[in-house]
Amino acid sequence: MALITPLDNIPDTDSDASSWKQWHIALRDSFGRKTAAMIFVHAWNKRGKKSIINYDLTKYLDDGGIVLDNTYLGSVSETGASLLDNFTDILKVGKYAGYGIVGILVIGAGILIFNLVKNPIGAAKAAASLYPAGGATKLLK
């Protein structure tokens, strides 16, 4: 027996507002909020009718970040929202990259401190090679 997914039951042009709401709930439960919103907006732009929009559907979808509008401006606002979601995804990746960089710096500082404790003169000579000529002599005294 095959599983029936919400994608098998897309509301058609004769569906009422409660059918669209129930379908979105099923999408959200199956695919998560972001993917459900993307699928819903795409299906609505193909099959939804502005005449069936009521307060209940509008309020429910507004709470989920979806604005129903059959005008060109509506599709532009959904595009803007998806671009913002993509930007936040990039920031999440950037956060983990930042953690990696901080980890590498902490490990490098640990190695530096270990070498300073183990061989202070050798570490000072290595550090002196990084300083200008006048500063190196102050470091070794």
- pLDDT, tens only, 46-78: 888 888 888 888 888 888 888 776 554 444 445
Looking at the domain assignment, is residue 134 inside a domain? no
2 falls within a domain: no
Q: Which domain holds residue 60?
A: 9-70
CA 87 – CA 93 distance, rounded (Å): 10
C-alpha–C-alpha distance, residues 87 and 47, integer Å: 29
pLDDT > 50? residue 1: no
Overall domain count for the chain: 1
24 touches 56 (CB < 8 A):
no
Number of residues in the chain: 141
pTM for the model stands at 0.48
**Spatial CB neighbours of 41, under 8 Å, sequence gap ≥ 6:** 66, 78
CA distance linking residue 24 with residue 110, whole number of Å: 52
The answer to the question of residue 96 being in a domain is: no
pLDDT at 96 over 80: no
